[in-house]
Amino acid sequence: MSTMARGAVLRAFNEPLTLEAAPVPEPEPGALVASVDLGGVCGTDVHLFHGNLPIPTPVILGHEAVGRVEKLGPGVTADFNGEPLREGDAIAWASNIPCGRCYWCVVEKERTLCENRKVYGINQRFDEGPRLSGGWAEFIYLQPGSAVFKLPAGISPEQAIALGCAGPTAVHGVLEIVGIGVGETVVVQGSGPVGLAAAMYAQLAGAARTIIVGGPASRLDLARSIGVGDVHIDIFATPDPEERRRQVLAATPRGRGADVVLECAGVPSAVPEGFELVRRNGRYLVLGQYTDRGATPINPHVITRKQLKVYGSWAFAEAHYARYVDTLPQLAARFDLGRLVTRYPLEEANRALADMASGSVMKAVLAP
Amino acid sequence: MSTMARGAVLRAFNEPLTLEAAPVPEPEPGALVASVDLGGVCGTDVHLFHGNLPIPTPVILGHEAVGRVEKLGPGVTADFNGEPLREGDAIAWASNIPCGRCYWCVVEKERTLCENRKVYGINQRFDEGPRLSGGWAEFIYLQPGSAVFKLPAGISPEQAIALGCAGPTAVHGVLEIVGIGVGETVVVQGSGPVGLAAAMYAQLAGAARTIIVGGPASRLDLARSIGVGDVHIDIFATPDPEERRRQVLAATPRGRGADVVLECAGVPSAVPEGFELVRRNGRYLVLGQYTDRGATPINPHVITRKQLKVYGSWAFAEAHYARYVDTLPQLAARFDLGRLVTRYPLEEANRALADMASGSVMKAVLAP
Amino acid sequence: MSTMARGAVLRAFNEPLTLEAAPVPEPEPGALVASVDLGGVCGTDVHLFHGNLPIPTPVILGHEAVGRVEKLGPGVTADFNGEPLREGDAIAWASNIPCGRCYWCVVEKERTLCENRKVYGINQRFDEGPRLSGGWAEFIYLQPGSAVFKLPAGISPEQAIALGCAGPTAVHGVLEIVGIGVGETVVVQGSGPVGLAAAMYAQLAGAARTIIVGGPASRLDLARSIGVGDVHIDIFATPDPEERRRQVLAATPRGRGADVVLECAGVPSAVPEGFELVRRNGRYLVLGQYTDRGATPINPHVITRKQLKVYGSWAFAEAHYARYVDTLPQLAARFDLGRLVTRYPLEEANRALADMASGSVMKAVLAP
Amino acid sequence: MSTMARGAVLRAFNEPLTLEAAPVPEPEPGALVASVDLGGVCGTDVHLFHGNLPIPTPVILGHEAVGRVEKLGPGVTADFNGEPLREGDAIAWASNIPCGRCYWCVVEKERTLCENRKVYGINQRFDEGPRLSGGWAEFIYLQPGSAVFKLPAGISPEQAIALGCAGPTAVHGVLEIVGIGVGETVVVQGSGPVGLAAAMYAQLAGAARTIIVGGPASRLDLARSIGVGDVHIDIFATPDPEERRRQVLAATPRGRGADVVLECAGVPSAVPEGFELVRRNGRYLVLGQYTDRGATPINPHVITRKQLKVYGSWAFAEAHYARYVDTLPQLAARFDLGRLVTRYPLEEANRALADMASGSVMKAVLAP
């Protein structure tokens, strides 16, 4: 094991990340050290970079990553699923460690809401503790309590990282909270990684028709080319929401509207627009409003009259990550996941971040 | 049976109702004729009077009523529950008759959404068919397919009418759609009939604390005096939403917010205010937005971050009315329902409507 | 339209069906007459033939059928979904007509439990009313209230009949009552039409692994050849339940047992055997016990200790048939449905019944 | 704090418990030491005494207890709910500590199924670790991770112990798993502590009628005297199950059977008897079959034909205990809980156990 490892450190908001080195610690009991194969760049990283969320600095960013076991701490012999774990095994891990003891973990059983949770690449400082606690680095220290998973047979690191945290986020929102039934018509608002992951899971769950409303055209083309979505509506080509509504309704059975609409756009105005796309007694998932972008006019009468069910879904926890890893073979069998990825060396973390911000790539991935 | 019967007829929107007579028909097979004991005046009647909803005229208003069997049509021997039905029996009936054959009735199983449904006192004309099809009349003709219920033993007509259609509306929204668990903390926004009915059912369902946010003081006093609600916050005395929020949160366990918030206010701005009163992972029912009063600024990020479940509930159907009648003995045992009622003779239908519009009475009831 | 039509009539239990003719009626308002293309033979028909269920005679059997519109009654212009209906259109129809007004239809919203429902081919007599009320006939009279569906584009009558009533039965039990999640491991007990339909829907719903425990080998081979099921365990080759249990558990993740077990075997002892195949906190569907075959030793401690959810599902209603028709394109795209069918002329109804009884064919179908 | 404390130790199955002393440890960080006010004797303790469950010996029995904070370990400043905790405070605690990290805790979110959980009074040895780990002792050592709760204002230790672990067990099964709706008719099979707790929660949840089928008469009289149950059927006075069925059905609306049946009897034959008491589409909870008492003949056709939902519920975890404590004021306001309790000094633990075994008392409680 190398004695020193480099990582891309955010020292101050809006200032370029710098590559810095720290010693690779010996793992304590229950912990392990992993070498990082690939670290994903997420839309949230762009917000973190700009200081839009309250995080400590300095910090090595990177809450999405896959790698290999470098060294197992005392007592670590198996992964979360009980599969034997050995040095060199390809692994992925949930980015967060809930406390498992608070009201949210124990009574509400919503570990995503745990107020004490540790999140790699977000709230673990670079200047204390094991330091190497973000995925944009050569090595990462996985603390006791981390949910670590061996990659399923036949799944490459690139396939595992392709959806990034959008994968488990969609598991939580789409499969667990809103649910999709066989034969349903699903609208997805948004065609970034969350939108694509949501559409993929809707399709795996047996949706009869998946209608993606997003853009730009390059993203819709990519989605179409790998079989994600049945109908694709480009918001740039069709800027009028009323016209989009006509097109979406025309693609739903009897023009009734979709059984389910999955908001993965992150723009507040997507929500009232989406309420017009769902049929009466239908379901609406607010999945994309992770960042606070303010209020928008919404008519609550629509919720009553159409008798909607509107669900929020916040992030994900180990359970969703476990299900994401479990279903990777199903995703990979149906969709060419690797097509989503654009690779960058660790040295080009800032460029990767910029490309993600501009939407010029679907999924930037750092290869340390 | 009288050969002629009088009813309060709406001939033109915003023009006083007039008392007019029509012949009492002989009931066809499956139908029955009832004399009306009491006909409730609902907030929706005020909207109908003003032409805010698309209804035909002339029409005898009155979608809430209780009465007695005057004459049974051929083949009618029992009520909806299979209880033997005889002339003179005190009865109530669901105001609407869904078709039972359409997509909404059969596939969605939401008979409230049936597009073909007939509604007494709303969409049954006075100038055709059996004519006597509203509750503000001496007699009403109950068509085949009507869900008719004998009043439970010990329940007076006054008790049965006291909540009016707010009773089955709350059954639908509060019991069936959102559900209340034993020990939960419930906030009710609104203190009109829907708010009180919602609070009563929450209490029957085992809520530990019910906090009513409404007004004016006279309505809250009435609620308090009959044991509806544990905490009462007067929106006129506390006009600042932020201060109301402080008071509500202080009344919830650990200041976390309510497990459930039931919107029964009908004012769009109640919804974003209510989102601030519910805890993370909590439930919010949009029950009161029956009339379209336009959009209001809402921040959808709150739905994601707090991981809310937001439900609409539209009106009610026979199932909810059946459950309402079934649970009347439980309501009556716990709350002095008669206290809600103010009686008017049929001749004073216009005054009753005006008093309901001004909120000077909780529940105006016509006694033909 | 022919003036007379022949049907296969059951006059007395256990006596061969006879071909008899009856006049084809003119359709009344709301009704239609259809020519029958294909009429399925169901395991239940074998029970009906033996008088194991209380049905009237004489009766034309056949509760599964597809055909073409011969003549539309006055007022019939569209199918259940609102699609325009014309003479010559290929159609299918739900075999039963619930009353839509009773406690079970209205309050419980379980039209399968309606006590007044009419069922083609089962409780509609040949010696009264329209007489032609079973599917094993050249024509069938579809009464007002029937849920009739145009076949989806690209679906042949053979594809539509291949699963027979097992299709909507599985929709009800597997999709609606027990539900299948993406990535789940599902065990299906039984490899007749119900077992295969259950497995197909589990696969459409995203099951990661479907394990069929059934027989004889020919049925498992057929299932395997069209991609139904991932693992197939032959109960004749492996007669020891304990050995079957070992094989099933070995095919489940971490040997934990299946997330869901779908009983489609119809043998009482399948239930306690199945309880050993499901994991703790798992779900068990009792779908196949349509006929009363008596009690079997079951240890209820297993239900408590494993914290099982055990669901019964009875037959199907229009909603399930509608969803079955809607999802036929998805079934047909994934599975070669036609492979299940063996055709017989109407004259050989008795042979078809015998072959179905012996299990020598998967699905006997009469082609009148 | 005393330096030594006595406890009732089980050294060998079926041999009288002996009073033995052990040193009271200093609490480590996260732990606390409590003096025990009252320790409940549970039916399961009788089974433990007889060696019917695989537990280690020697062990201080007592998984039900309430007491007072004697000494707080470093870092312990608040209870599970965040309420400040001080020496002398009256407290109760969940008897078990799940690991919070395994598949059952994290993915299934069923901490009752955790395979690593520690249970006071059951699997914590007397000859190692803190030794004082059972409730039948003067002091108990509450390990880090214990869910400790201050008693709600106005709740006495006697009220808190009166239902023992039957309280949270009923929360889990009755409120969380099966659920009770306002106006429902509920049958409870069994009139021991679990049956009474189940009936109480059903009543709090708004059941319109609660029918208890149990015995002996003294237990039913006690239930009746404190308002638990509306109808009481004595299985000793009415030994014929068919006659009991007639009586139960006669007490249900329209003779249809109960909406929900809660099995709290622990006798396998109660389950098939109970299936006859529930209406079609009803729910059945198998709550009482905690001990394996073998198989009984059950007809699975009943589950299909009646379309039942049958749920098992295993034990309880912290969430249920938290809700039990939260709802104690509601239970105590409605039912005179203290009437259930019979007190014994710690020295008479063996007599308390014998009385519980014979059913001569409802709830034996040791007062160390």
- Model pLDDT for residues A249-303, shown as the tens digit of each residue: 999 999 999 999 999 999 999 999 999 999 999 999 999 999 999 999 999 999 9
| Helical segments of chain B, H only | 43-49, 103-106, 157-161, 166-170, 193-204, 217-225, 241-250, 270-275, 301-305, 318-334, 349-358
Which chain B residue shows the shortest CA-CA distance from A300? B268
CA distance A68 to chain B (A): 33
- Reading chain D (368 residues) residue by residue, the pLDDT tens digits are 569 999 999 999 999 999 999 999 999 999 999 999 999 999 999 999 999 888 999 999 999 999 999 999 999 999 999 999 999 999 999 999 999 999 999 999 999 999 999 999 999 999 999 999 999 999 999 999 999 999 999 999 999 999 999 999 999 999 999 999 999 999 999 999 999 999 999 999 999 999 999 999 999 999 999 999 999 999 999 999 999 999 999 999 999 999 999 999 999 999 999 999 999 999 999 999 999 999 999 999 999 999 999 999 999 999 999 999 999 999 999 999 999 999 999 999 999 999 999 989 999 999 99
CA distance A320 to chain D (A): 8
Specify which residues D367 forms β-bridges with.
D345
Q: Count chain A–chain C contacts defined by CB atoms under 8 A.
A: 52
For position A277, what pLDDT does the model report? 98
For position D1, what pLDDT does the model report? 56
For position A2, what pLDDT does the model report? 66
Q: What residues in chain D have their Cβ under 8 A from chain A's Cβ atoms?
A: 80-82, 100-101, 103, 105-107, 109, 111, 145, 147, 317-319, 322-323
Residue B1 has pLDDT above 60, yes or no: no
Please report, for residues B91, D136, D179, D200, D210, the alpha-carbon distance to residue D184 in angstroms, rounded to integers and kept in the order given.
22, 39, 10, 14, 9
8 Å CB contact of C205 and A183? no
- List CB contacts (< 8 A) between A190 and chain B: none
CATH 3.40.50.720 fits B166-312, yes or no: yes
* Whole-angstrom distance, CA of residue D187 vs CA of residue D247: 12
- List CB contacts (< 8 A) between D147 and chain A: 106
Would you list the domain boundaries of chain A?
Answer: 4-164+316-367, 166-312
Q: What percent of chain A has pLDDT over 70?
A: 99
8 Å CB contact of A298 and B303? no
Residue A241: helix, strand or coil by DSSP? helix
Q: Count chain B–chain C contacts defined by CB atoms under 8 A.
A: 40
Which chain B residue shows the shortest CA-CA distance from D81? B254
One-letter amino acid identity for B164?
A: G
| Pairing mode, strands D32-40 and D18-23 | unpaired
For position A53, what pLDDT does the model report? 87
- List CB contacts (< 8 A) between A103 and chain D: 80-82
* Whole-complex ipTM: 0.96
8 Å CB contact of C329 and A254? no
Residue B316 has pLDDT above 70, yes or no: yes
Mean pLDDT along residues A12-32: 97
> What angle, 0 to 180 degrees and rounded to 10, lies between the N-to-C axes of helices D318-334 and D193-204?
80
8 Å CB contact of A281 and B305? no
One-letter amino acid identity for D24?
A: V
8 Å CB contact of D289 and C301? yes
CA distance B224 to chain A (A): 28
Instruction: List the chains bordering chain A where 3 or more Cβ pairs fall under 8 Å.
Output: B, C, D
* Whole-angstrom distance, CA of residue A121 vs CA of residue A61: 4
For position B327, what pLDDT does the model report? 98
pLDDT in tens, B47-73: 999 998 889 999 999 999 999 999 999
pLDDT in tens, B241-294: 999 999 999 999 999 999 999 999 999 999 999 999 999 999 999 999 999 999
Confidence of residue B2 (pLDDT cuts 50, 70, 90): low
Strand order in the sheet with A209-214: A231-234, A209-214, A185-189, A258-263, A278-286, A309-312, B309-312, B278-286, B258-263, B185-189, B209-214, B231-234
* Whole-angstrom distance, CA of residue A49 vs CA of residue A39: 16
Mean pLDDT of chain C: 97
Contact by Cβ (8 Å): C229, C215:
no
Of D82, D106, D319, which is closest to A318 when you measure between CB atoms?
A: D106
* Whole-angstrom distance, CA of residue C357 vs CA of residue C50: 11
For position B159, what pLDDT does the model report? 98
Residue B197 has pLDDT above 90, yes or no: yes
* Whole-angstrom distance, CA of residue B25 vs CA of residue B247: 57
8 Å CB contact of C312 and D304? yes
8 Å CB contact of C312 and D305? yes
Q: Which two tokens stand for residue C353?
A: 């019944």
Per-run averaged pLDDT (10 residues), chain C, 368 residues: 89 97 97 98 95 93 97 97 97 96 95 96 96 98 97 98 98 98 98 98 98 96 98 98 98 97 97 98 97 96 98 97 98 98 97 95 96
Which of D117, D271, D307 should be substituted to probe chain C, the one whose Cβ sees the most C Cβ atoms within 10 Å? Answer: D307
Residue A349: helix, strand or coil by DSSP? helix
8 Å CB contact of B106 and C323? no
- List CB contacts (< 8 A) between B310 and chain A: 303, 308-312
8 Å CB contact of B292 and A314? no
Instruction: List the chains bordering chain C where 3 or more Cβ pairs fall under 8 Å.
Output: A, B, D
Which chain D residue shows the shortest CA-CA distance from A111? D106
Confidence of residue A1 (pLDDT cuts 50, 70, 90): low
Mean pLDDT along residues B299-305: 98
Burial string for B240-252 (b: 16+ CB within 10 Å, else e) reads ebeebbeebbebb
Listing DSSP states for C80-127 in one string gives TTS-B--TT-EEEE-SEE--SSSHHHHTS--GGG-TT-EETTTTS-SS
Q: Which CATH architecture has domain A4-164+316-367?
A: Alpha-Beta Complex (3.90)
8 Å CB contact of A307 and B293? no
For position B164, what pLDDT does the model report? 96
Instruction: List the chains bordering chain B where 3 or more Cβ pairs fall under 8 Å.
Output: A, C, D
For position D311, what pLDDT does the model report? 98
Please report, for residues A146, A355, B181, D46, D368, the alpha-carbon distance to residue D95 in angstroms, rounded to integers and kept in the order given.
27, 54, 24, 17, 18
